[in-house]
Structure 1
Amino acid sequence: MTQDGDLDALVRKRIRGLRVARGWSLDDLAARCWLSPSTLSRIETGHRRIALDQLAPIARALGTTLDQLVEPVADEDVVIRPHRDETRGLTTWLLSRDPGLPGVTVAKIRVSRPVRETAELGVHPGKDWFTVLSGTVELRLGERTILVRAGEAAEFSTMIPHAFGGHDGPAELICILDHDGQRSHLHGS
């Protein structure tokens, strides 16, 4: 492992931060990773170089991975900005920018348009799940019309023809969509 100064300092801060967050003393961590408390103290304070054979058991004891301990700090934008689709009456915030859940997208949606009586109901493989944060969502599910109010949630097979919109005004919801749901609901294809 290259001992780059900035990365080295970051790894030391992460080790100490994870230890302190767990409420562990140096003795507690030492007992879990088979290193002496003085060695850990010198690692955390920068008075000892971090060796790979020490880093692996430290990471394991702290419940993390080597990759997470040594990943560089990203300078990416942390603000999630809305994407407005005026034509469809949707504003979306993609909350799952990291592919941590393969094939699953988490999004906040503000729907400002109602479901039209003549709306074409979509069908795609998978399941959709959403919880309403504010307002009321009108969910057309086959022949049924279901009102889902703030604080309520809905989960359904997307093989049932479906569409949703705001009922008596805008509504905001958090939804979990599979790949087909993301493509259908967030991109309008």
Structure 2
Amino acid sequence: MASHDSGESASRCTGCVQDDDGPVPPANFAALSLHLRRIRVERDWSYDELAARSGVGRATLVSIESGRPRRNPKKPASRGNLETWYRIARAFDIPLGELLKPLYDENP
């Protein structure tokens, strides 16, 4: 997570961008991946179960959760796209915002 405080400029906030309210920390994909895993495990769903319910490929789900690339180790792991996360939220029957909350939550 980027370090910053309300009085710090975006140029001093490592990894931050500037908006009208000041520095914005970078997205926390590690927290999002952990949140996805937590929900899946709490429901006792396998990757195959979530894949079947969401329509998202099993390999994509594994890559999102583990942070490892699907096939080519030289490429970055999948972070999914908006449709991927929407499908996962629908499968879990939770609002998309609730699923994505850890992405920018500074107090996970």
TM-score with structure 2 setting the length? 0.59
Computed over aligned residues only, the root mean square deviation of the Cα atoms, in angstroms, reads 1.5
Q: What displacement does 1:57 show?
A: 0.4
Residues 60 and 78, structure 2, Cα contact 8 Å, conserved in 1: yes
Q: Of the candidates 11, 22, 30, which is equivalent to residue 43 of structure 2?
A: 22
> Is 1:36 the counterpart of 2:68 in the alignment?
no
Letter in 1 for 2:64: I
Query: Higher strand share goes to which structure?
Result: 1
Provide the residue aligned with 1:53 in structure 2: 83
Cα drift, residue 70 of structure 1: 1.9
Give a deviation string over 1:44-63, Cα, whole Å, max 9, x none: 11221221010000011112
- C-alpha distance in 2, partners of 1:62/1:10? 18
Q: How does 1:61-140 map to 2 (within 5 A)?
A: 61-71=91-101, 72-73=104-105, 75=107
Of all paired residues, the percent bearing the same amino acid is 35
- Which runs of 5 or more structure 2 residues have no equivalent in the other structure? 1-25, 68-76
Listed one character per residue, the Cα deviations across residues 126-171 of structure 1 (whole Å, up to 9, x for unaligned) are xxxxxxxxxxxxxxxxxxxxxxxxxxxxxxxxxxxxxxxxxxxxxx
Tell me the number of residue pairs that the alignment of Structure 1 and Structure 2 aligns.
71
Q: How much does 1:73 deviate?
A: 2.9
Alignment of 1:174-189 (within 5 A): none
Q: Whose helix fraction is larger, Structure 1's or Structure 2's?
A: 2
* CA–CA separation in structure 2 for the residues paired with 1:56 and 1:70: 10
Does structure 1 conserve the Cα–Cα contact (< 8 Å) formed by 2:60 and 2:80? Answer: no
Deviation string, structure 1 residues 6-54 (Cα, Å, up to 9, x no partner): 2x11211111110000000000000000111111100111221221010
Q: Runs in 1 of length 4+ with deviation above 4 angstroms? A: none
Give the AA of the match of 1:13: L
Provide the TM-score with structure 1 as the length reference: 0.35
Q: CA deviation at 1:74?
A: 5.3
Where do 5+ consecutive residues of structure 1 fail to align?
76-189
Q: Give, as a single letter, the amino acid of the residue that structure 2 aligns with 1:33.
A: S
